[in-house]
Structure 1
Amino acid sequence: MKGKVSVMVEPMKMEFREFDLPEPEKGAVLLRVTRTNVCGSELHIWRGEHPTKRKGVLGHEMVGVVEKLGEGVTTDYAGRPIKEGDRVATVYYITCRKCNMCLKGHFHLCENAYNFWNKDPEEAPHFHGTFASHYYIHPDMFFYKVPDNVPDIAAASANCALSQVYFGLDKSGISYGDTLVIQGAGGLGLNATAVAKEKGATVIIIDAVESRLEMAKKFGADHTINIAEYDTTEKRAAAVRELTNGLGADVGIELSGVPSAFHEGIHLVRSGGKYVTIGNVSPGKYTDFDPGLLTRKSIEIKAIVRYDPWYLDKALQFLSKNIDKYPFVNMMDGEFEFDNIQEALDKSASREVTRASIVLPVGVAVEK
């Protein structure tokens, strides 16, 4: 059998290629992809904004079914029995547990994380990203069985949107009764809203698109601030203070990917508060910043990339528990066939679509 891969040959240009399906090595798994999403990380690469990535197989948010198990693979990384045909979601990076960062307990910063990420498909085992009919899970890539009550459309976002913000909010130490201000009501912001509400927080969310803010309310947001109405940092900061007894939010989280949001964040957070930045992932982009205000307010900044791999399982269990409470199945506002994947990327890049999802038919793989 052969599988089909969508390859970015240069920024904003995609081609399809076919490769033999690989036999998984010891400790590896071959998945058949059933659904994969366009994440903001893909858009940075697609638009040519990544410092090194200019081509390769994109895609990492996904859900799929086990096609073949490598020798010794009998359970997922939570110890649940696994077999061919089971639905799984997988972390998209390596956690080697042997490098300097892993040995210091910083598993999300593994120095070998991207050994197999988004490579050219000509290099075996070919299926390096989830914009393809199949995906190869290497040894040391954590994967978890999807709970039966979680549909594909929700499970596909567990990695990385839900896992990422779950990890970031845990790192912030947010707790019951705290107020959280979220910058950005995209997929990350919506997931962060649900997680924060389950932690007992009050949520204020800021965005420029009213439809996104309306969706945030369905995910539990207590207050929304539209940038079109509050069109300066000063106005938005005043609005946040008005909602927090003049103090500012206990915790702020940047999920917009806009550099100026980082500058604004410390204006939204109270003295002694915490500010988490996740969305800005493209080096080389700059914004003005007021370090004196940061010092005077004694705000603690936490920058978060990826997540400890077991957060994917926490995310899947969170979905299972809350699947009927929040509209996770309505989060995607654009659904595309695999052959139209470039359209999904282009419409996401132009913001015609907030969250695009690609559905793959069973028959994507073809006989030789």
Structure 2
Amino acid sequence: MVLKKIGRVAVMMEPEKLRYQEYEVPEPENGAVVLRVLRTNICGSELHIWKGLHPTKKRGVLGHEMIGELYAAGKGVETDYAGNPIKKGDRIVAAYYLTCRKCTPCKEGKFHLCEHAYDFWNQEPEKSPHFHGTFATHYYIHPNQYFYKVPDNVSDVSAASANCALSQVYFGIEKAQLTNNQSIIIQGAGGLGLNATAVAKEKGATVIVIDGVESRLEQAKQFGADYVLNFNDFETMDARTNAVLDLTGGKGAHVGMELSGNPAAFAEGIHFIRPGGKYVSIGNVTPGKFVEFDPGLLTRKSIQIIPLVRYDPWYLYKSLQFLSKNNEKYPFDKMLDAEFTLDEIKTALDKSAAREVTRATIVVNEKGIEEF
């Protein structure tokens, strides 16, 4: 009798309602890979979906920030996308979206805007290969989905955030062409903000971080922030703007990054940036939220706005190299402050949404459920 491996997926039936379903772990097709999930994080994107704020995703398997170990590789898969040989048991991280290389954005070199990015992610779990998200025991990596082997000196905790938070802000900072001796103001000291702080510091920039949670600001200092500003210490936007001007020689920052997800932060951000500066918008991902905005100020200051969704997939490899080089310099292993089991995903989501924890991670049981 053939032993069949059975895995589990956590399925959101509707916002804030979750149940678990079991499926046979599929054999990977040519060019595909199946991972056994070791650890998966709760990102702000999951919280938007969980609270019913995503414009299209209303049910299905969630989860995208993760690290897994190679369970099975399809025919023809002998290396990762950087050419490193892989074998069963190797630790792997993958970009959480497809890059078809055939659609109009891909043909224009804008891989992060692939029109088929979420073709698999939007599938219902009943549809093979079932394991479309990482809130599960296993995860199916499709052909044309970039993946990379994790360097030996990078821990599971550090690598688990690479395929979203670190890669996203790394992409944004390089799009803004931040250079040595420039200044950057980072709005939000969550996972994105902390990673951005470390990357910006390694670029040689002066880093200013603003947030309303003191514990986050203290953590930002550990990730290289030169200055931190507590939002609550200033009664008005003008007061916060003056504080930023005081730290930048009266000119404002060369680059700004909105990573808080608050529309009001986006409107405020242009006040912190000097004429001719650049403003990277990543945090606000939910359409339909509006805020008063001063377009005349934007024009007068000639600020370049750079909105970004996802990242070019090779930035995941760059992020792993960044971690390998700097994992002893910055406390990446301490970025995740709460651990839960696969059975506790609802609790982890609820606590994260209530801001009872900053960065939650799900440690998945290494042994899948088996049946004969």
Query: What interval of TM-score do these two structures reach, taking the shorter chain for normalisation?
Result: over 0.9
State the match for 1:139 in structure 2.
143
Measured after TM superposition, the shift of residue 120 of structure 1 is: 1.6
Map 1:243-322 onto structure 2 (within 5 A): 243-322=247-326
- Among all aligned residue pairs of Structure 1 and Structure 2, give the percentage whose two residues are the same amino acid: 65
In 1, Cα distance between equivalents of 2:259 and 2:356:
19
Residue 103 (str. 1) matches residue 101 (str. 2): no
Q: Which amino acid aligns with 2:132?
A: H
> Mind listing any 5+ residue stretches in structure 1 that lack a counterpart?
none
State the match for 1:226 in structure 2.
230
In 2, Cα distance between equivalents of 1:297 and 1:151:
43
- TM-score after normalising by structure 2: 0.98
Q: Deviations for 1:159-215, whole angstroms, at most 9, x for unmatched residues?
A: 100000000000001000000000000000000000000000000000000000000
State the match for 1:18 in structure 2.
22
- The partner residue of 1:48 within 48, 52, 56 is 52
Map 1:320-335 onto structure 2 (within 5 A): 320-335=324-339
On the 8 A contact 1:61/1:157 being kept in 2, the answer is yes
In 1, Cα distance between equivalents of 2:141 and 2:133:
10
In 1, Cα distance between equivalents of 2:136 and 2:177:
38
State the match for 1:191 in structure 2.
195
State the match for 1:76 in structure 2.
80
Q: Which amino acid aligns with 1:322?
A: N
State the match for 1:363 in structure 2.
367
On the 8 A contact 1:118/1:129 being kept in 2, the answer is no
State the match for 1:158 in structure 2.
162
Number of aligned residue pairs: 368
On the 8 A contact 2:6/2:368 being kept in 1, the answer is no
> Which secondary structure does the structure 2 equivalent of 1:7 belong to?
strand
Q: 1:118 to 1:338 in 2, by over 3 A?
A: farther
In 2, Cα distance between equivalents of 1:234 and 1:356:
34
> Mind listing any 5+ residue stretches in structure 2 that lack a counterpart?
none
Map 1:163-174 onto structure 2 (within 5 A): 163-174=167-178
In 1, Cα distance between equivalents of 2:171 and 2:123:
26
In 1, Cα distance between equivalents of 2:368 and 2:256:
43
Residue 177 (str. 1) matches residue 181 (str. 2): yes
On the 8 A contact 1:58/1:118 being kept in 2, the answer is no
On the 8 A contact 1:272/1:297 being kept in 2, the answer is yes
> Which secondary structure does the structure 2 equivalent of 1:101 belong to?
helix
State the match for 2:242 in structure 1.
238
In 1, Cα distance between equivalents of 2:362 and 2:330:
22
In 2, Cα distance between equivalents of 1:267 and 1:364:
52
Q: Deviations for 1:290-325, whole angstroms, at most 9, x for unmatched residues?
A: 000000001000001000000000000100000000
Which aligned runs of 4 or more in structure 1 are off by greater than 2 angstroms?
A: 364-368
Residue 37 (str. 1) matches residue 41 (str. 2): yes
State the match for 1:117 in structure 2.
121
Map 1:200-215 onto structure 2 (within 5 A): 200-215=204-219
> Which secondary structure does the structure 2 equivalent of 1:3 belong to?
strand
Measured after TM superposition, the shift of residue 118 of structure 1 is: 4.3
On the 8 A contact 1:158/1:315 being kept in 2, the answer is yes
In 2, Cα distance between equivalents of 1:300 and 1:365:
52
On the 8 A contact 1:34/1:63 being kept in 2, the answer is yes
Measured after TM superposition, the shift of residue 365 of structure 1 is: 3.2
The CA RMSD over aligned residues, in Å, is 0.7
